[in-house]
Structure 1
Amino acid sequence: MQVILIHGYLGFPENNWFPWLKTELLSRGYEVTIPSMPNPALPVEEEWVEKLKTLIHDPESTILVGHSLGCAAILHYLQNYKDPQFQGIVLVAGFGREFLKLEKFFGWFKQPLDFSKIKKAAKKWICIHSKNDRLVPFAEGEWLSKKIGAEFVVQNNGHFLKQEGVIELPAVLEAIESF
């Protein structure tokens, strides 16, 4: 089983809880890919979606994990997806529409996403969100989980960043293992 983890804005593969998750998954026999997404300081939707296309080879044996803007990239990728269902998708601090704090990324949601289509792309969805997320409001996580019919896991870990003390995130490991 392959796990592909997509970081968020200003992110990189060795940041936050990603190294811990990679180590845990490798020890359990998963194949793990954590790419550097293009221009993380000036992310362009089309570039991130194209990068995702190059990474995915066997959706039925793939679990996608997104963090913050990485979730939006996954959702945009799935907007035009037609292949077999993914084993599972985990969205951490995710969002699927514009909101006030998202001014930098207003180009990402020119058209509303078709969630009735997107939610069919995975056998199971899990959204993990913090009540005290200062960057992506809790209400956005709740809204997104309802739109895609996801299990909703509530945490109290801010935006799940290393500078907030989050270097391990067992809820993501548990979500992956549940698929």
Structure 2
Amino acid sequence: MARKAIIFHGTGGSPHVAWYPWLAARLAARGYAVEVPHYPTVNVEPIAEFLPKVLAAHTFDEQTVLIGHSGGAALLLALLEHVTVDQAVLVAGYCTPPNDEDEPVLQPAYDWRAIRSHVRDLYFINSRLDPYGCDEHQGRAMFDRLGGTQIVRDDGHFGDHDQAYDEFPLVDKLVD
């Protein structure tokens, strides 16, 4: 079975911004089949309506690695209630509203036991300097419920409209 990686962009993002194209090329060079889907309604459409579309659009198995950034990382929590994968890397992820904005990507509650049982290796990468509140406290809240590895940096939102972040060697190194 071939290894696969799916990289989910964040709210208002696209597959062509930040470090997503760089990471996709790096993983492809290592033999991964890489998908970087475009979901313009991530964190716009309510998760109860959005999640079935994502589940239907991809295949997930024990050889799959999920990588999500911001709203895409929050999406991974909902996905992991339903699919079993090898690894998940949540970059600037969150499990509760990180600020005063509406967050339709969040579920009212999560089945933390199911999520934990559906992923072998789990990483949370958050920044103390995240301008949207997707900070180390959000990472810690997920880590406390799920275990895994929490990595805390001082790197803003790890890519944004005003933060160039064209490469992300840390994520490349974490994916095995």
| TM-score strictly above 0.5 | yes
Question: Given that residues 74 and 106 in structure 2 are in contact (C-alpha distance below 8 angstroms), is that contact kept between their aligned partners in structure 1?
Answer: no
Scaled by the length of structure 1, the TM-score of the pair is: 0.87
- Give the C-alpha shift of residue 125 in structure 1: 0.4
- In the alignment, does 2:37 pair up with 1:35? yes
- Give the C-alpha shift of residue 146 in structure 1: 2.0
3-state SS in 1 of match to 2:120: coil
- Give the C-alpha shift of residue 51 in structure 1: 3.2
Structure 2 match to 1:122: 119
- Separation (CA, whole Å) in 2 of partners of 1:91 and 1:150: 11
Gaps of 5+ in 2: none
- Give the C-alpha shift of residue 76 in structure 1: 1.3
- Separation (CA, whole Å) in 2 of partners of 1:142 and 1:159: 16
Letter in 1 for 2:116: K
- Give the C-alpha shift of residue 113 in structure 1: 1.1
- In the alignment, does 2:167 pair up with 1:165? no
Return closer, same or farther for 1:164/1:59 CA change in 2, 3 Å cut-off: same
Q: Give per-residue Cα distances to partners, 1:87-124, cap 9 Å, x unaligned.
A: 1111001011224x15221x444521121221111011
- Separation (CA, whole Å) in 2 of partners of 1:59 and 1:76: 16
Gaps of 5+ in 1: none
Q: Give per-residue Cα distances to partners, 1:21-66, cap 9 Å, x unaligned.
A: 0111111111100000142573431343123213432411100111
Structure 2 match to 1:113: 110
- In the alignment, does 2:43 pair up with 1:49? no
3-state SS in 2 of match to 1:59: coil
For 2:149, which of 151, 166, 169 is the aligned residue?
A: 151
Structure 1 range deviating more: 86-95 or 149-158: 149-158
- Separation (CA, whole Å) in 2 of partners of 1:62 and 1:25: 12
Structure 1 match to 2:23: 21
Q: What is the 5 A alignment of 1:59-74?
A: 59-74=61-76
Q: Size of the alignment, in residue pairs?
A: 172
Which of the pair is proportionally richer in helix? 1
Question: Given that residues 48 and 73 in structure 1 are in contact (C-alpha distance below 8 angstroms), is that contact kept between their aligned partners in structure 2?
Answer: no
Structure 2 match to 1:12: 14
C-alpha RMSD over aligned residues: 1.9
Structure 2 match to 1:87: 86
Scaled by the length of structure 2, the TM-score of the pair is: 0.88
Return closer, same or farther for 1:21/1:47 CA change in 2, 3 Å cut-off: farther
Return closer, same or farther for 1:108/1:40 CA change in 2, 3 Å cut-off: closer
Q: Give per-residue Cα distances to partners, 1:59-96, cap 9 Å, x unaligned.
A: 111001111111111111223x1x5x311111001011
- Separation (CA, whole Å) in 1 of partners of 2:175 and 2:73: 15
